[in-house]
């Protein structure tokens, strides 16, 4: 059975910020949800011991990983690091590091180890679903290790990578909400516990309004949980009608009294100008022609 791991676009942006803009070798730890195969955070390791061809994590990184795991909602997934030139395969020292990572973390079944190259390898990818392009011509190649049949032995394999576009969609949603309400919108991402289940969250604050999105590992195929707190107070859950084959926050969010043929996030200007306290979320729904279903976490 093919192993598939998801990563948020937020974590990819962190990888780009801390790895592709610096000379290799450079790296850091990957953290993610403890109840699903989703990588949510990259912790850079500027204090690591590095040369032009090697990366050894620092003790400071170990402490940061422990702090990240302290709430019980995140766990270590592995280590990402950059390689010089076009070399996107694990080196001999890399393989030893994967084995050490599994030995030090007996609770991990898989040690994920993406390699970032600042230039495209000259050969075509042998496992295209394990590749993700980054800015500036850089590329992420996902490798992973699991325990072999003998003590200390590891087996390398190539999981498939799926990117969750949560950061992009929440930022676009917040921008449209700010335009509609004429208030500045801020947003904060986290992993939180809702109804006893760890979920990816995005909390958007706009004026006196707040909207909390809770995303499962199956987004965008599964609808997010949406908790709305209007300016008058009183948080309520909004039950969404979600397209069968997946939806998008900023492409299909609109009020139901507007034409469904224009799948955008609309607000009647006359209502906003006449009474800024009118709830822009009141009775909203997701609509995608005839195919939809309701799905909450």
Please say whether the beta carbons of 227 and 215 come within 8 A.
no
pLDDT tens per residue across span 201-233: 999 998 888 889 999 888 888 888 888 887 777
pLDDT tens per residue across span 231-268: 777 888 877 777 777 777 755 454 332 223 233 333 33
Q: Which long-range contacts (CB under 8 A, 24 or more apart) does 125-129 make?
A: 126/158, 127/158, 127/160, 129/160, 129/161
Q: How far apart are CA 179 and CA 206, in angstroms?
A: 10
Domains of the chain: 4-164 (3.40.140.10), 166-294 (no CATH)
Q: How far apart are CA 148 and CA 151, in angstroms?
A: 7
Residue 208: per-residue pLDDT: 82
Q: Summarize the confidence of residues 111-131 as an average pLDDT.
A: 78
Q: Summarize the confidence of residues 40-51 as an average pLDDT.
A: 90
Residue 20: per-residue pLDDT: 87
- DSSP strand pairing (38-44 vs 4-8): parallel
Q: Summarize the confidence of residues 179-203 as an average pLDDT.
A: 87
pTM of the model: 0.80
pLDDT over threshold 60, residue 286 = no
Q: Can you read off the two tokens belonging to residue 27?
A: 């790296």
pLDDT tens per residue across span 56-113: 888 899 999 999 999 899 999 999 999 888 888 898 888 988 999 999 999 999 999 9
pLDDT over threshold 90, residue 183 = no
Q: How far apart are CA 81 and CA 24, in angstroms?
A: 8
Residue with tokens 């990259």: 42
pLDDT tens per residue across span 52-71: 777 888 889 999 999 999 98
Instruction: Name the nearest CA neighbour of 279 among 220, 245, 235.
Output: 235
Helix locations, 182-276, DSSP H: 249-252, 269-274
Higher pLDDT, 178 or 203: 203
Q: How many CA atoms lie within 13 A of 190 on its CB side?
A: 10
Residue 119: per-residue pLDDT: 75
Which residues lie below 8 Å from residue 124, measured CB to CB, with a gap of 6+? none
């Amino acid at each position: 059975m093919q192993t598939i791991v998801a990563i948020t676009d937020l974590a990819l942006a962190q990888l780009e910020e801390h790895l592709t803009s610096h000379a290799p070798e450079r790296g850091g730890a990957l953290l993610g949800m403890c109840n699903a195969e989703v990588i949510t955070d990259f912790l850079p390791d500027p204090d690591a011991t590095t040369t032009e061809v090697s990366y050894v994590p620092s003790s400071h990184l170990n402490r940061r990983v422990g702090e990240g795991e302290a709430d019980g909602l995140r766990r270590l997934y592995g280590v990402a690091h950059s390689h010089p030139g076009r070399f996107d395969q694990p080196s001999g020292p890399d393989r030893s590091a994967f084995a050490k990572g599994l030995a030090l973390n007996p609770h991990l079944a898989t040690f994920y180890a993406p390699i970032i190259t600042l230039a495209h390898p000259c050969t075509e990818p042998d496992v295209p679903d394990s590749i993700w392009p980054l800015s500036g011509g850089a590329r992420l190649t996902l490798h992973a290790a699991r325990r072999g049949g003998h003590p200390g032995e590891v087996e390398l394999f190539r999981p498939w990578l799926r990117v969750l576009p949560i950061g992009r969609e929440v930022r676009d949603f917040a921008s449209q909400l700010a335009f509609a309400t004429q208030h500045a919108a801020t947003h904060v991402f986290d992993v939180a516990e809702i109804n006893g289940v760890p979920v990816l969250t995005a909390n958007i604050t706009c004026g006196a309004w707040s909207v909390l999105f809770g995303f499962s590992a199956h987004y965008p195929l599964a609808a997010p949980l949406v908790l709305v707190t209007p300016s008058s107070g009183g948080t309520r859950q909004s039950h969404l009608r979600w397209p069968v084959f997946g939806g998008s926050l900023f492409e299909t969010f609109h009020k139901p009294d507007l034409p469904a043929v224009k799948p955008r996030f609309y607000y009647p200007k006359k209502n906003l100008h006449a009474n800024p306290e009118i709830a822009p979320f009141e009775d909203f729904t997701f609509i995608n022609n005839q195919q939809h279903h309701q799905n909450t976490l």
